Structure 1
């Protein structure tokens, strides 16, 4: 069954009698010993195996490798050789593991080294994408081979146990909210710019939810950091400007929009409450910020003159942002609830383009035609 087969290959027979030796710390979980070690990156592709992708899911012990994830992971490793972080791999060893402590009693019993026959099979239970990215990165930068990664070794107790380990390791995994990802990302220029907008712009300062990517009904915040990030990303897409100019453009644009959406300033003045405005209007939802970013990108691409695009933005005053406006149904709303699918976003952008007298792209026109035919 995949990596759990007991038949030895010619290479395994040749390696009989030879051992891998890893420095290790011994631990116990659920009555079973396990070991934590450090392994040079150059060894990772050579000794850690995948299950065969062609095997049926029920006889594999892990998911099929998603190759689409590898370029970004590999690039991350190659672009940040002095500042990357990879968490530990978890592996099952189908073979003997012999632990030798540095002392016969006391704390020294838990530290030492493990010997694993070279004929043993190593199966990754968690971290196969990191393993594949390491393999690809080493081809471009072999010097990374001397770096190390933590590995947690468990004894392979059969396919069922390995499958259960995979399920348990991923059972409670939760992807962090996009907002906190932007908040803590100091490597990405756009994330840095978004944080500055959130903390310094008079439009957003004190009114951005920095951690969660969803606003509760009672939240006094105006937008989430992730919504501001997406909106600003769309705004600056394809503009050939340096970071300083990008920051200035983004702040100027959002301030110009703010001047045409009076409710935003009324929230800051506490004349209106954010929960009430979100309940009654579209303009204080993430889809509006995203759509306004795309709209702004068109204006900035068409004219570098602030006077011209500011003048065009005045037409936002003609937009009826209230939820009671039936034009929003099927665009920003579905069944009376604000939605943010790609189709909803495009149809919202189309609606705003119409009010500002801007042409639709061929893709936007196609979506608009389908909507008008009742196919959306």
Structure 2
């Protein structure tokens, strides 16, 4: 609103007056579509002549996208207060019937209002209003008056030095807009070994904590496992597969025994089975397996290997630090490494450790056929071969070697034999007369 007062022009806003450190301050709500008119830029020129950092357009665009996305989908969003200084005297008229600190603030139109906290938010707002001019949202301003440049610079430093960015883990855990975060929360509550044992607060579980794994490590590993990106939709089938796979891995690594009998903090001092590098390695190893195996088949293989363990202590020793030297533990310092290369090496070692083969289980026949033969047809033929092998007590290794040769020699005609049990039995009887049982 514009008004004339003592031959000067003013912007007038409802405001609240308060004091901090002896200085008057004003809090006001400003329509976002008016913000560009009242704020002055403070991000150009020599760095010591301003009280703001260089403007990062990428950061502002992210805020613009956040606001426009919320506007278009009618979802909740929030943007924090912008803090700045008015370089000229203002007039505050208290409202009648108040104690004097609620009223109208008149700001000279030729005054410069420069922010020392919130320039990227203001840039994001400018982009939002340009993209959605019909938006009627408002933003809060906290304004001081007449601060010299040095004080504004000091306030910028104080605000940023005293601010602590929250751990990525808790930001992910609290973010209910991303379906991937919801999936990981579901895993954390549904996998028996992880229930009440996931650290949502820290990116890395503190050494003395009794919690098993961090939410961030579980999140990163699950994304690797299924090739997910932030914001991807998560169908019910994938949620089921995720719980199946993480339950199988937790059982294979005896996480429940570690938590209940040994203690997570004690375990971490000697073994890496719950370390972030191992959790991520599980994600990578499973992703390789999922190329050619379904989730239940992988879980069955892990369960079968789990049954071979003599004791939980034996499996725990498998993950002692010294056994992972050169893989993800530095042999000289004993430091656990968690970089991408270490995760990849650990994943390959995990596959070998649990006898998991990422290769297509049907590769021996798939590679002998052209693309006109579907994967389902390949699986059906292999089922018939395995049935005949079981009936006749034949070696599958011999069949895997001989059948591709037969296909090649017959230029594919032998596939008809593989598609008919009677013909297949007859061929087996003729091919292995000494081995075939009557």
TM-score if structure 1 supplies the norm length?
0.80
Could you tell me which residue of structure 2 aligns to residue 321 of structure 1? 319
Which position in structure 2 is the counterpart of 1:131? 122
CA change 1:94–1:332 in 2 (3 A) is farther
Moved more, 277-286 or 212-221: 212-221
What does residue range 11-22 of structure 1 map to in structure 2 within 5 Å? 17-22=8-13
- 1:48 to 1:225, Cα distance in 2 relative to 1, 3 A: same
Question: What CA deviation, in whole Å up to 9, does each residue of 1:316-349 have, x standing for no partner?
Answer: 9999422012x43463548212233444434434
Select 2:142's aligned residue among 135, 140, 152: 152
Structure 1 stretch displaced more, 294-303 or 93-102: 294-303
SS at match of 1:271: helix
Say yes or no: does 1:233 pair with 2:223.
yes
**Cα distance between partner residues in 2 of 1:252 and 1:209:** 21
Find out whether 1:86 has 2:79 as its counterpart: yes
Q: Which residue of 2 aligns with 1:254?
A: 246
Distance in 2 (CA, whole Å) between partners of 1:350 and 1:135 is 49
Q: Which has the higher contact order (CA 8 A, sep 6+)?
A: 1
Closer/same/farther in 2, CA of residues 313 and 56 from structure 1, 3 Å limit: farther
CA distance in 1, matches of 2:167, 2:344: 24
Match of 1:9 in 2: none
Query: Which position in structure 2 is the counterpart of 1:120?
Result: 111
Equivalent position to 2:176, from 170, 181, 186: 186
Q: Select the residue among 90, 94, 102 that pairs with 1:97.
A: 90
> Residue 164 and residue 299 in structure 1: after superposition, are their counterparts in 2 closer, same or farther (change >3 A)?
same
- Residue 312 of structure 1, CA deviation: 7.6
Task: After TM superposition, give the deviation of residue 152 of structure 1 in Å.
Answer: 0.4
**Post-superposition offset of 1:69:** 2.3
Q: Quick one: structure 1 residues 312 and 217, their matched pair in 2 at CA, closer, same or farther if it must change by over 3 Å?
A: closer
The answer to whether residue 324 in structure 2 is matched with residue 331 in structure 1 is no
Residue from 48, 69, 72 that aligns with 1:58: 48
3-state SS in 2 of match to 1:99: strand
Q: Secondary structure at the match of 2:58?
A: helix
Whether 1:204 aligns to 2:194 is yes
Aligned-partner SS, 2:113: strand
Shifted more, 206-215 versus 186-195: the winner is: 206-215
Give the Cα–Cα distance (whole angstroms) in 1 for the partners of residues 141 and 304 of structure 2: 59
Single out whichever of 133-142 and 332-341 deviates more from structure 2.
332-341
SS of structure 1 residue aligned to 2:343: helix
1:337, 1:308 → 2: CA distance?
A: 31
Give the structure 2 partner of residue 172 of structure 1: 162
Matched, 1:161 2:151: yes
Unaligned runs of 5+ in 1: 1-15, 360-376
* Cα gap change, 1:72 to 1:332, in 2 (>3 Å): farther
Unpaired runs of at least 5, structure 2: 1-6, 310-314, 360-438
Q: Do the aligned residues in 1 keep the contact of 2:322 with 2:329 (CA within 8 Å)?
A: no
Q: Relative to structure 2, which stretch is displaced further, 198-207 or 81-90?
A: 198-207
| 3-state SS in 2 of match to 1:288 | helix
Alpha carbons 1:45, 1:132 under 8 Å: kept = no
Query: What corresponds to 1:8 in structure 2?
Result: none
Greater Rg, structure 1 or structure 2? Answer: 2
User: What corresponds to 2:297 in structure 1?
Assistant: 307
Greater mean alpha carbon deviation, residues 33-42 or residues 212-221: 212-221
Structure-2 change in CA distance of 1:301 and 1:57 (3 Å) = farther
> SS of the residue aligned with 1:143?
coil
Paired residue total: 337
